[in-house]
A = this chain, B = another copy of it.
Amino acid sequence: MGPSERQKKILRAIVEDYVRTAEPVSSKAISQLPELNYSSATIRNEMAALTDLGLLEQPHTSAGRVPSALGYRLYVNELMQDYRLSTDETKSLNQAMEMKMAQADKVISQIGKLVSQLTDLPAYAVRSHVQQLSVKRFDFIGAGTQSIILVVMLSSDEIKNKLIRLPLVITDHDLKLLGAVLNASLAGIPASGFTPELIDRITKNAGDAASLVPIVVDFVADLLQAQQHSEVFLTGQNRLLSQPEFHDIDKAQQMLTTLDEDIISNLPATIGGNGTQILVGPEDISKELRDTSVVMTQFDIGEGMKGMIGVVGPTRMDYAKVTARLSYFAEGLAKMFGTSELPPSETDKEDS
Interface residues, chain A, CB within 8 Å of chain B? 100, 102-103, 137, 139, 141, 143, 147, 149, 151, 153, 157, 159-167, 215, 219, 222-223, 226, 237-238, 241-242, 246-247, 249, 252-253, 256-257, 259-260, 342, 344-345, 347-352
Q: Please pick, from B141, B159, B164, B237, the residue contacting A347 in the complex, using a CB distance under 8 A.
A: B164
Q: Please pick, from B141, B160, B342, the residue contacting A141 in the complex, using a CB distance under 8 A.
A: B141
Q: Please pick, from B139, B166, B247, B351, the residue contacting A160 in the complex, using a CB distance under 8 A.
A: B351
How distant is the Cα of A165 from the Cα of B247 in the complex, in angstroms? 52
Chain B neighbourhood of A344, CB < 8 A: 165-167
**Given A143-B137, A222-B100, A249-B252, CB of A162 within 8 Å of CB of B241:** no
How near does chain B come to A124, taking the closest CB pair, in angstroms? 13
Q: Please pick, from B165, B222, B252, B350, the residue contacting A342 in the complex, using a CB distance under 8 A.
A: B165
How near does chain B come to A118, taking the closest CB pair, in angstroms? 16
Q: Please pick, from B103, B159, B247, the residue contacting A249 in the complex, using a CB distance under 8 A.
A: B247
Chain B neighbourhood of A219, CB < 8 A: 349
A141 in contact with B139 (CB, 8 Å): yes
Chain B neighbourhood of A166, CB < 8 A: 344
B222 in contact with A237 (CB, 8 Å): no
Chain B neighbourhood of A247, CB < 8 A: 249
A238 in contact with B226 (CB, 8 Å): no
Chain B neighbourhood of A139, CB < 8 A: 141, 149
How near does chain B come to A278, taking the closest CB pair, in angstroms? 24
How distant is the Cα of A215 from the Cα of B349 in the complex, in angstroms? 11
A151 in contact with B162 (CB, 8 Å): no
How near does chain B come to A140, taking the closest CB pair, in angstroms? 9
Chain B neighbourhood of A253, CB < 8 A: 238, 241-242
B151 in contact with A149 (CB, 8 Å): yes
